[in-house]
Amino acid sequence: MSLRGLHLRNRYESMTTSRYNAREAETRWQKTWDQQGVFSTKNDDPRPKYYVLEMFPYPSGRIHMGHVRNYTMGDVVARYKRAMGFNVLHPMGWDAFGMPAENAAMVNKVHPKKWTYENIAAMKKQLQSMGLSLDWAREIATCDPAYYKHQQKMFLDFLKSGLVERKQSKVNWDPVDQTVLANEQVIDGKGWRSGAVVEQRELTQWFFKISDYSEDLLKAIDSLDRWPEKVRTMQRNWIGKSEGLLVRFALDPKTTPNKEDELEIFTTRPDTLFGAKFMALAPDHPLSLAAAAKNPKLAEYIAETRRHGTAQAEIDTAEKTGFDTGIKAVHPFDPSWQLPVYVANFILMDYGTGAIFGCPAHDQRDLDFVNKYGLGNVPVVCPPNVDPKTFIITDTAYDGDGRMINSRFLDGKTIDEAKEDVAKRLESGTRGNRPVAQRQVNYRLRDWGISRKRYWGCPIPVIHCEKCGVVPVPDKDLPVVLPDDVEFDKPGNPLDRHLAWKHVACPQCGGKARRETDTMDTFVDSSWYFARFTDPWIENKPTDRKMVDEWLPVDQYIGGIEHAILHLLYSRFFTRAMKKTGHAGMDEPFAGLFTQGMVIHETYHKADGTFVTPAEVKIEAAGGARKATLLTTGEPVSIGGIEKMSKSKRNTVDPDEIIGTYGADVARWFMLSDSPPERDIEWTEDGVQARWTFMQKLWRIVGEMTGIAKKAPAQKPNEFSERAMAVRKATHGALSKISDDIDKLRFNRCVAHIYEYSNTLSSAIGETEDSNAGDPDFAWAMKEAADILVQLFNPMMPHLAEECWAALGHKNLVAMQPWPKVEAALLVEDTLTLPVQVNGKKKAELTVKRDATNAEIEAAVLTLDEVRKALGGKPPKKVIVVPQRIVNVVA
RNA sequence: GUGGACGUGGCGGAAUGGUAGACGCAAGGGACUUAAAAUCCCUUGGGAGCAAUCCCGUGUGGGUUCGAGUCCCACCGUCCGCACCA
Q: What digits encode the pLDDT tens for the residues A137-158?
A: 999 999 999 999 999 999 999 9
Q: What percent of chain A clears pLDDT 90, i.e. is strictly above it? A: 54
Strand B positions within 7 A of protein Cβ atoms: 1, 3-5, 12-16, 18-20, 22-27, 37-41, 54-55, 66-68, 80-86
Between A628 and A757, the higher pLDDT residue: A757
Q: What is the per-residue pLDDT for A176?
A: 74
pLDDT tens sequence across A39-85 = 999 999 999 999 999 999 999 999 999 999 999 999 999 999 999 99
Q: What is the per-residue pLDDT for A318?
A: 62
- Give the CA A157 to C1' B85 distance in Å: 33
Q: What is the per-residue pLDDT for A869?
A: 79
- Give the CA A549 to C1' B54 distance in Å: 67
**SS3 of residue A498 by DSSP:** coil
- Give the CA A665 to C1' B24 distance in Å: 17
Q: Assess whether A882 (CB) lies less than 7 A from strand B.
A: yes
How far apart are alpha carbons A44 and A498 in whole angstroms? 46
- Give the CA A363 to C1' B20 distance in Å: 47
A426: pLDDT strictly greater than 60 = yes
How far apart are alpha carbons A195 and A192 in whole angstroms? 6
Q: Which residues of chain A between 379 and 438 are close to nucleic strand B, CB under 7 A?
A: none
How far apart are alpha carbons A591 and A51 in whole angstroms? 10
Mean predicted confidence (pLDDT) in A10-34 = 75
Q: State the CB neighbour count (10 A cutoff) for residue A297.
A: 9
Arithmetic mean of pLDDT over chain A: 88
Mean predicted confidence (pLDDT) in A526-551 = 96
**SS3 of residue A40 by DSSP:** coil
- If you write DSSP's letter for every residue of A459-482 in order, what string do you get? BP-EEEETTTEEEEPPGGG---PP
Q: What is the per-residue pLDDT for A80?
A: 97
Global confidence as pTM: 0.89
A316: pLDDT strictly greater than 90 = no
Nucleotide closest in space to A870 (CA vs C1'): B54
Q: What is the per-residue pLDDT for A319?
A: 72
Q: Is the dihedral of CA A490, A493, A494, A500 positive or negative?
A: negative
What are the phi and psi torsion angles at A612 (to 5°)?
-125, 155
Among A409-413, A565-569, A605-609, the range scoring the smallest mean pLDDT is A605-609
**SS3 of residue A826 by DSSP:** helix
A692: pLDDT strictly greater than 60 = yes
pLDDT tens sequence across A588-629 = 999 999 999 989 998 888 888 888 888 888 887 665 567 788
Q: Assess whether A811 (CB) lies less than 7 A from strand B.
A: no
Nucleotide closest in space to A19 (CA vs C1'): B38
Q: Assess whether A272 (CB) lies less than 7 A from strand B.
A: no
How far apart are alpha carbons A754 and A746 in whole angstroms? 13
Q: What is the per-residue pLDDT for A589?
A: 95
Torsion angle (degrees, nearest 10) of CA A728, A733, A735, A737: -170
Start-to-end Cα distance in chain A: 66
pLDDT tens sequence across A862-881 = 888 888 877 777 788 888 88
Q: What is the per-residue pLDDT for A867?
A: 83
